[in-house]
Amino acid sequence: MAEEASSDGQLRRDVTVWGSFMWGYADVGADIYTALGLVAGAAMGATPVAFAVAGIVYLLVGLAYTELASSYPVAGGGQYFTLRGIGDFWGFVCGAALLLDYTIDISLFAVSSSGYFNFFLPALGVRIADFAVAIGPFQGVNLLWLGETLAIIVFLVVINVIGIKISSRLNEVLGVLAIIGQVVIVLFGFVFAWDPNMMLAQITLHFPSLHNFMYGSSLAIISFVGLESISQVSQETRRPATIVPRTSISLVFNVLIFALAFSVLGMGLLPWQVLAQHAGDPIAVVAQKIPIIGVVAAPMTALIGGLIVLISSNSGVMSASRLTYSMSTFSLLPKWFNAVHPRYHTPHRTILVFSAVAMVEAVFAFMTSEAMNTLGNMYAFGATAGYMLVFIALIVLRFKDPYSPRPYRMPLNFKLQNKEGRAPVQFPLLAVFGFLGVATILFEVILTHKIGRIAGPAWIIVMLVIYFIYRQKERLPRFGSVKRDWEDAQRKVLREAEEYELLSEYEAALAARDGEAQA
């Protein structure tokens, strides 16, 4: 592997094709381990339907990110795409929304990881409930679970400061174990235990109210949030134009299949009430119900679940740090965030600051009656708000930047004449449907998430205050954009990515445009 940073402090391309896939899998593939119990508690018998609705939206989001990340392989993900497409202000709003998502990602999955590891406590004669205490007006604060969560976050901070090679290697090793475990559980579960009549009975007899279904389907998006991870490390991925489309598409379908499989399997094995009661370790409870392998599968699944959710939390640390690194690079946040560690060449300041935010969120969640539900309640706002802007940016960039090579395009396009240039534009019809789908999920979040509809906008407002103060201090436009040479930036990106064929294609397209303009 190449060294992690160049002498000028820039991130280096140190992530392989397998590492790129596992970064995404770590952040998305693990989410069903957390979401299944939470969704069952809301969507009841319609849990598989809720996952299917969220899965359709996720599929469109995945296709959009595949196009954008392979076309613009720069750290920053949705924030960078929005910045480039519709300007600095909206780029910051998108980045702030996704940053909220990442900090909750860190805390939520650290809580979930501890929950799976706590599956083994009864065998040691320890009851997790015995550690619940009252702190002033707050009842049932579980100090052991909270302590485990904070310890996990501290551990992840250390490995991410040391370097992405170690962090990526952790994802790769644990991810392989998780995939193997998931395949075994799904196969044995459907062959030896699944009862389709039980699942159909639960759907027909325990279908939720519209309000509960909307809440459940908006929670189900938790299972699919995380595609940003591949975009965040695209600047550190070798040959991203080739790797990103392959890894993104395979990741989209891999995660979609597993999420739907586990929701269908779970509802054909257990009453939805049981899954809801075991929100901390729902997949382990499903595995325990499988005959023949249940005795072994349950602890194995608890262990794998704890590990795979751990690396999902790890991806949150990585993504938050890369996102703020990008935002400071483009003068959306103070340059203080742009510094890399003198020895490890990692954005250590952003890792420390936003991991600390995640720790505060974890403490707040444990002060409520249901820590995981509280964090899940806040989780979807940032993702859906950010994804809406990403779809807008994708459409705008098709018009504003028709010359950049796109190794992958969303399907179902129709040709339009570009008013800003002479090159025709392939208008992405699926991007419109994706925008409407994400907007629907965001509407559900605002309507049904009591905490999320307050905490989400409040976070954006606080971040905007920081943004305005910083831009005013630096005498930069608050609602406008800093003038940038995006064409030169694209040349630099393709050159650093060693995508020389695409660079030649880009230069030829620009030359043809300039030649037509002079004619």
DSSP, res 424: -
Q: What is the mean pLDDT of residues 108-126?
A: 89
pLDDT at 49 (0 to 100): 94
Stronger pLDDT, 25 or 106, i.e. the higher one: 106
Q: Is the pLDDT of residue 24 over 70?
A: no
Per-residue confidence band for 138, with pLDDT thresholds at 50, 70 and 90? confident
The 3-state DSSP class for residue 28 equals helix
Structural domain count, the chain = 2
State both tokens at 46.
Answer: 């319609």
Among 360, 375, 409, the domain-final residue is 409
**Is 427 part of any domain?**
no
Looking at the structure, tell me whether residues 518 and 371 fall in a common domain: no
Among 361, 379, 409, the domain-final residue is 409
Cβ neighbourhood burial of 231 (10 Å; 0-12, 13-18, 19+):
buried
Q: Is the pLDDT of residue 16 over 80?
A: no
Stronger pLDDT, 389 or 346, i.e. the higher one: 389
Among 343, 374, 409, the domain-final residue is 409
The Cα 235–Cα 360 span in angstroms is 30
Q: Which residue range is the domain that position 492 belongs to?
A: 487-519
Looking at the structure, tell me whether residues 345 and 492 fall in a common domain: no
The 3-state DSSP class for residue 45 equals helix
Per-residue confidence band for 11, with pLDDT thresholds at 50, 70 and 90? very low
Q: What is the mean pLDDT of residues 90-94?
A: 95
Identity of residue 70: S
Q: Of 169-173, 410-414, 514-518, which range is least confident? A: 169-173
Looking at the structure, tell me whether residues 403 and 497 fall in a common domain: no
CATH number at residue 253: 1.20.1740.10
Residue 496 has, within 13 A of its CA and on its CB side, a CA count of 21
Give the mean pLDDT of the chain. 85
Looking at the structure, tell me whether residues 367 and 514 fall in a common domain: no
Looking at the structure, tell me whether residues 199 and 322 fall in a common domain: yes
pLDDT at 398 (0 to 100): 93
Looking at the structure, tell me whether residues 501 and 368 fall in a common domain: no
Stronger pLDDT, 144 or 177, i.e. the higher one: 144
The residue written with tokens 């820039």 in the block is 10
**Is 419 part of any domain?**
no
**Is 334 part of any domain?**
yes
**Is 213 part of any domain?**
yes
Q: Of 35-44, 363-372, 456-465, which range is least confident? A: 363-372
Q: What is the mean pLDDT of residues 501-508?
A: 91
Looking at the structure, tell me whether residues 280 and 192 fall in a common domain: yes
Looking at the structure, tell me whether residues 366 and 239 fall in a common domain: yes
Q: Of 117-126, 353-362, 420-429, which range is least confident? A: 420-429
